[in-house]
Structure 1
Amino acid sequence: MTTVKDTEVTADITSGSKIEPLVKFDVADHLDSPEVLAAYLSEFFEEGDPAMIAEALGDASRAKGMAEVASQAGLARESLYKALRPGSQPRLETILRVLRALGMQLVVQPISNVGSDQESDGPKV
């Protein structure tokens, strides 16, 4: 029985002309309508992770154009990049300004699945 090292397999795969490199996926290329943009951002706001919300706002801003969003939000382009970089936690004021510049607004609504799960997490009075 003959064994093949992983490096030999990798060399065979990468040296062949039949395999083409994958194109990097960029979600900003697909945020092409207000409805798609609203659905995309809503998913992240529903999850509630500030860093992920900032990243999603960054994707949306790139889709519209960072310079245009920054200008409409009243921010310097560099400040917008810094505020929306992965892992950042922008201030609520910044989030609201960016949403407005994107033609979006933040809407508050009741949680539809309020029940025993959430009641048990809260304080007992």
Structure 2
Amino acid sequence: MQKDRSHDDAMAELFAQDPAFATAYLNDVLTEGEPADLMVALRQLAQARGGVPALADKAHLNPTQLYRTLSPTGNPELRSLTAILAALGLRLAVQPVAPAA
């Protein structure tokens, strides 16, 4: 019998198994999702990479604040977001948007 697990756990497992998928997923969320979706995806990626406390240590951020930041209502400063992404081995990039036809 298969054990039930949360969506967050399933996504974290996928992200741990396939880092390229995780990167593509985050890009999709940035392109088409809401800010809350990005915070959830980053929390799931943090879980895949050892958990929020490990990420907080690597990003030099307060773990309690990082839990709040990565909540669906989180609104990180650019400095925090940059630190989080760097600790995950990622970075922000700016790309042109195709003009509407």
Q: Please give the alpha-carbon distance, in whole angstroms, between the structure 1 residues aligned to 2:34 and 2:83.
A: 19
TM-score normalised by length of structure 1? 0.67
1:39 aligns with 2:24: yes
Q: Please give the alpha-carbon distance, in whole angstroms, between the structure 2 residues aligned to 1:62 and 1:21.
A: 21
Task: From the CA coordinates, give the structure whose radius of gyration is larger.
Answer: 1
Offset at residue 104 of structure 1 (A): 0.4
Give every structure 1 segment of 4 or more consecutive aligned residues whose post-TM-superposition deviation is greater than 2 Å: none
**Percent identity at matched positions?**
32
Alignment size in residue pairs? 96
Task: Give the letter for the 1:87 counterpart.
Answer: T
TM-score normalised by length of structure 2? 0.81
Unaligned ranges ≥5, structure 2: none
Unaligned ranges ≥5, structure 1: 1-19, 117-125
Deviations 1:2-46 (A, max 9, x none): xxxxxxxxxxxxxxxxxx686123211110233122111111111
The 5-angstrom pairing of residues 105-120 of structure 1 reads 105-112=91-98, 114-116=99-101
Backbone CA RMSD of aligned residues: 1.9
Which gives a bigger RCO, structure 1 or 2 (Cα 8 Å, sep 6+)? 2
1:100 aligns with 2:86: yes
The 5-angstrom pairing of residues 63-78 of structure 1 reads 63-65=48-50, 66-78=52-64
Q: Give the aligned partner of residue 121 of structure 1.
A: none
